[in-house]
Every structure is written in structure tokens, then in C-alpha cells.
Structure 1
Amino acid sequence: MVLVVLGIDALDPELVDSTAHPNLTLDAHRAIETIESEEGGPSTHELWPTIITGLTPPEHGITLDDGVAWENPLLRFGSAAADYLLPSGLQTRLGAWLLNNTEQDAFRIPATYYEEEGLSTVFDGREAAPIGIPNYVVDPDSEDREHSLRRNLGDLFERDLEAKGGHSSTDPALFYEQCLEMSMVRIARARRALRGGRYELVFAYTSGLDLIGHVAYEQPELQDLAYDELDEFVGEVRGDLGDDDELLLVSDHGLQDGVHTDEAMVAGTDEAMVDAIASVVDVRDAIESELDERDHRPTRRATAATGSDSGQSEEVREHLEDLGYM
């Protein structure tokens, strides 16, 4: 048995419909409470650490500083200096400029942070595959196609403090295509981890829906189309499930008119698991209860490669790395 969790950033409970989106609503779905940042509005930077730890942002310590995530090495010094030297409004504009004009990713806190801070996560002691979780980076020296695309969006996605959603794009249609490619990559990685049968928990995250929502305030049809396509992608994961496997969808907040909203959502193939989640802080407990109460020990669907087969597997991995998919 495998529990697959898909973290879909900005999946909004008011924008899904069980008839139009059967795979985004599954057998049960509900709106859940999220947490607003001290800087205003729910923050992706803070909320995924909350979802995997069950702790509020002040408890896990990963918080937003004046609207900008300063934790990456390039921005950390700027934050410390800005606190003493710059008015708050100028700090925000400086942060927006830095994020637009560097290739730094704001969501790359390593997984080692949690152990160093004495924090436990839903992955501890499990045969788990965490895929792309913001601020839980297993290998900071590697990135997949979603990370690469997000880092190199350039003027397709810029912080714009004057824009309705705080972001703008020079080409929303092309931006849409890149965001959907990002989602497809993460969905494909989740499917591969499920099919491999090596894990009891597969937890994959994608930001494509959130990114599209931030620039679709003038073209809402793009956001509508993204929901339709994402429903199809999740349907592919659902089709891979075995009779005893379960699927849970989780969001950190909603997003309408380009702005984060204060409702997140969950959906799942197990109604009891969905019922157990009333807030983003409940997700970890619900996942662990599911894993503890049922046998989710990995059952490999393919025999581990040995000898020359192992060499071929390594060649395949290297080829995927060369193509940018690993």
C-alpha cells in the first residue's frame, strides 16, 4: 500500500467542482483553514514547513521577512543590513528587485534544517519520497525541471508591486505553458515513485497552479484552463493507484484575482482522512494516522537491478540528468 500526497499550491476550494473536476475533488473534499503570515496573507514559504511538521510558522521558525524570503545565502546579508538601514517600504522593493534580478530560489531551505533545529517531520522514520517540497530540500546541489524553470522564468514572471496580484508577465500564454510543464514534471515524478513500489509515502509538490493564478487576474480563462488540465494530470496518478493505495491532495491557500485567499483545501480517496483535516496544521497527523493504522510497507513492483542491469539503470539515470529531468 502506498499513500500518495500531492501538494498543489493554491488549489482553491471555491474554484473546484466535483462534476467538472472529479480528480481534484476525489471521493471527498473540503475547505480547510490556513495561516496568515505576519506580513499579511498566507505565505507558501511558511506553510509547507507547517504542513510537513504540524507546527505553526513561529514554532518551526521558517517565516517571511517583510514580504520576501531572505533565507537563501545571497539575500541573508541583505536582510540583516536592511533591518537597520532601510525603511520597510524600501526593503520590500529591494526584495522584489533581488528576486527579479538573481537566479536564487526563495524556497530552498535544506532538509537538514529540521534535524538541526530539533524538529520532526512527516518523513521521519518512513520509507518516503519527498519531491520538491518548498523549504525541505533533500539535496541542495540538485534540481529538477520545475526548479530549473522556476529559476529562469525571467520577465515571464516578475514581482510587480503595482500589479493587482503583485506579479506581472510579459507573455501570460507562454508563461502558462511553462507552468503546466512544471506541474507535469512533478506529477510524473510522483507517478514513477508510486509505480516503483519502494515507498510507503510519496509526497510531491507543484507550484504551477499558484504561478498561473498570480498573473491570470486579467485573463481568468488561463486559471480556469489550468484547473481543467491539472484535473487530467491528477487523474493519471489516480489511474496508477492499486486497490489498497490512497491519494490525498493538499493546498496551502487558495488564489483568486491574483491574490492568495485565506482558505486552503484537501481532497482524498479516503473520506475519513479528509474529515480528520480541518486546518493546514492537521495534515501531518492525518497522514501519520493513515500510515500507522494500515500496512503501507513498500512492495516493490520490480526486482532490484543487479550486475549489468544495475549499470544500465545508472546509464538511464545519467541520461535523464543530462536532459534536465532529474
Structure 2
Amino acid sequence: MTVVVFGIDALDPDLVDPDQHPNLTLETHDRIETINSSAGEPSTHELWPTIITGLSPEEHGLKLDDGVAWENPVLNFGSTVADYFLPKSLQTRIGGWLLTNTETDAFRTNVTYYEKNELSTVFDGYESKAIGIPNYVVNPNEEDREHQLRRQMGDLFARDGDAMGGHTSSDPDQFYELCMEMSMIRLARIRRALRSRQHELVFGYTSGLDLIGHVSYDRPALQGRAYEELDEFVGELVSDLDESNELVLVSDHGLQDGLHTEEAMVAATKPAMIEKISSVLDVCEAIEFELDHTDHTPTPPSDQRTKLGDSDKVREQLEDLGYL
């Protein structure tokens, strides 16, 4: 039995409808509270560490400084110098330029950060698989297609402080296709991990919906199409579930008119799993409760199992042949 969690960045409770999006709303869904960063709006950089630890950004320490993840390991040296010599506003502009014009990834904090700071996560103590969680990098040398595309978008996704969504795209339609490809890749990895039957918990993430939302503030139909397609993709994951599996969808915030909103959402195939989730701070505990109170022991595929009766017969044959 496996608990599957799919983190969908910017899945907005106001933009889903059970009739139009049955796979994004599942058996039950609800809006939940999120947390604003120092920049005045919810931050992906801060919120996924919160979701997997149940701790506020102040407690887990991965905080945004005026809109830029300046403490990222890639920028550590620059951060140390900048704290002494550069005002915060200039740090933000430099960080924004680096994230737009280099291959720097803002959300690549290594899992060792949690270990060194004695921070417990939802993955601890379980047979678990983490797929692309922002700021929870199990293997810094491993990348999938979503990581590669995020780093190589160039002017397809450029930071622009004057644009309504804070970003512009030289070709929104091409950008849309890349973002949907990113989402499909992550869902494929989640489905493969579920089908392997090796894990109690599979927790994957995609940023595709968030990225599309930031550049479609003047093209709402594009964002609407992303919800429709993502609903179909999640439907394929739902078809992989059996009666022993549970699926939870969770977002870190919503996104409308190109800007992050201050409500996130959860959905689940098992209503009891999310009954006590009212905030992003509650997600970790709800998942752990399910794992602790229901048997989720991984079981290998049926063609790798040996029935007890067959095992006895094999043993008898080996004894007859003198091997035992």
C-alpha cells in the first residue's frame, strides 16, 4: 500500500471545479491557508520545506530575502560578501539577474541541510521516494527533464519587475508546451515509483502550472487549458491506483492574474486524510498519521512473490535432491 502525494505548485482552489476537473479535486478537496514570505506573497522556496517538515520558514530556516533565494549554496560566497556591502534591494536585483541569465537553480538545497540542522521531514523513517521537491535534493548530481528545462528557458521565461506576473515570455505558446512536458515527466516518474511497489510514500512535485500562470495574466484561456490538461494527466495516475493506495494533491499557494494568491489547496482520494489540514503547516502531520496508522509495507510485484505453498514444494524438492 502506497501513499502518493503530488505537489502541484500554484494549484488554485478558485480555479478548480469538480465537474470540469474531477481528477484535480478527487473524492474531496478544500482550500487551506498558506504563508507569506518577506516579499509579501507566498514563496515556493519557503513553502515546500514547510510542507515536508510541518515547520514555518522561521523554524526551518530556508527563507526568502526580498524575493531572492540568496542563501542558496550556489550563491553562498556572494551572499556573505553582499550582506556586508550591498543593500537588500540591490541583492534582489542581482539575484534576479543570476536566476534569469545563468543556469543557477534557486531551489536546490541538499537533503544534508535538514540532517545538519536536525530537521525531521515526512520522508524520515519510511520507505519513501522524493521526486523533484524544491529545496530537498537527495542527489545533487541527478537531474530530470524538468530541472533541465527550468535552467535553459532563457527569454521564454524572463524576470521582469514591471510585468504583472513578474515575468515575461518571448513565446507563451512554446513556453506552455515546455511546461506541460515538465509536468508529464514528473507524473511519469511518480507513476513509475508507484508501480514499483517499493515505497510506502511517493512524493513528487511539478512547477509547470505555476510557470504558465506567471506569463498568462493577459491570456487566461492558456491557464485554463493547463488545468484541463493537468486534470487529464492526473487521471492517468488515478488509473494506476488500487484500493490499497491513497492519492493526495497539495499546492503551496494559488495563482491568478499572474500573481501568487494567499490560499493553497488539498485534494484526496480518502477524505479522512485531509480533514485536519487547514494550513500548509498541517500537511506533513496528516501524511505521517496515515503512514503510522495504516499498513503501507511495500510489496513486490506479483511475479516476484512466491506463495507459501509453492515455497514448501520447492523446499521438498530440494530436500529430495539432497541440497537441504
Q: TM-score, normalization: structure 2?
A: 0.92
Q: Which residue of 1 aligns with 2:249?
A: 249
Given that 1:71 and 1:106 are in contact with CA atoms closer than 8 Å, whether structure 2 keeps it comes out as: no
**CA distances 1:264-301 after superposition (whole Å, capped 9, x unpaired):** 00000011112121100100110011111111111111
Q: Which residue of 1 aligns with 2:295?
A: 295
Q: Which residue of 1 aligns with 2:268?
A: 268
Given that 1:53 and 1:284 are in contact with CA atoms closer than 8 Å, whether structure 2 keeps it comes out as: yes
Q: Which residue of 2 aligns with 1:315?
A: none
In structure 1, distance between residues paired with 2:72 and 2:89: 21
Given that 2:104 and 2:151 are in contact with CA atoms closer than 8 Å, whether structure 1 keeps it comes out as: yes
Change (3 A) 1:129 1:289: same
Counterpart of 2:102 in structure 1: which amino acid? T
- Residue 6 of structure 2 aligns to a residue in which SS? strand
In structure 2, distance between residues paired with 1:162 and 1:43: 19
Q: Compute the displacement of 1:126 (Å).
A: 0.5
1:34 has 2:8 as partner: no
In structure 2, distance between residues paired with 1:2 and 1:74: 35
- Residue 108 of structure 1 aligns to a residue in which SS? coil
Change (3 A) 1:74 1:202: closer
In structure 2, distance between residues paired with 1:295 and 1:73: 38
Q: Which residue of 1 aligns with 2:181?
A: 181
Q: Compute the displacement of 1:302 (Å).
A: 5.7
In structure 2, distance between residues paired with 1:269 and 1:297: 19
Given that 1:96 and 1:160 are in contact with CA atoms closer than 8 Å, whether structure 2 keeps it comes out as: no
Q: Which residue of 2 aligns with 1:282?
A: 282
In structure 2, distance between residues paired with 1:85 and 1:129: 41
Counterpart of 1:17 in structure 2: which amino acid? D
Counterpart of 2:7 in structure 1: which amino acid? G
**CA distances 1:54-103 after superposition (whole Å, capped 9, x unpaired):** 00001001001121012334422222333332333322221111111110
1:58 has 2:58 as partner: yes
- Residue 6 of structure 1 aligns to a residue in which SS? strand
Q: Which residue of 2 aligns with 1:138?
A: 138
Given that 2:73 and 2:109 are in contact with CA atoms closer than 8 Å, whether structure 1 keeps it comes out as: no
Q: Which residue of 1 aligns with 2:121?
A: 121
Counterpart of 1:260 in structure 2: which amino acid? H
Q: Compute the displacement of 1:142 (Å).
A: 1.1
**CA distances 1:235-272 after superposition (whole Å, capped 9, x unpaired):** 00000001111000000000001110000000000111
**CA distances 1:147-196 after superposition (whole Å, capped 9, x unpaired):** 01111111100111111111111011000000000000000000000011
Q: Which residue of 2 aligns with 1:236?
A: 236
Q: Which residue of 2 aligns with 1:164?
A: 164
Given that 2:10 and 2:264 are in contact with CA atoms closer than 8 Å, whether structure 1 keeps it comes out as: yes
Q: How does 1:140-155 map to 2 (within 5 A)?
A: 140-155=140-155
Q: Which residue of 2 aligns with 1:84?
A: 84
Q: Which runs of 5+ in 1 are unaligned?
A: 305-326
Q: Compute the displacement of 1:40 (Å).
A: 1.3
Deviating more after overlay: 292-301 vs 69-78 = 69-78
In structure 2, distance between residues paired with 1:180 and 1:120: 32
Counterpart of 1:165 in structure 2: which amino acid? G
Q: Compute the displacement of 1:215 (Å).
A: 0.5
Higher alpha-carbon Rg: 2
In structure 1, distance between residues paired with 2:69 and 2:278: 27
Q: TM-score, normalization: structure 1?
A: 0.91
What is the aligned residue count?
A: 305
Counterpart of 2:89 in structure 1: which amino acid? G
Q: Compute the displacement of 1:227 (Å).
A: 0.3
Q: Which residue of 1 aligns with 2:315?
A: none
- Residue 32 of structure 2 aligns to a residue in which SS? strand
Counterpart of 2:154 in structure 1: which amino acid? G
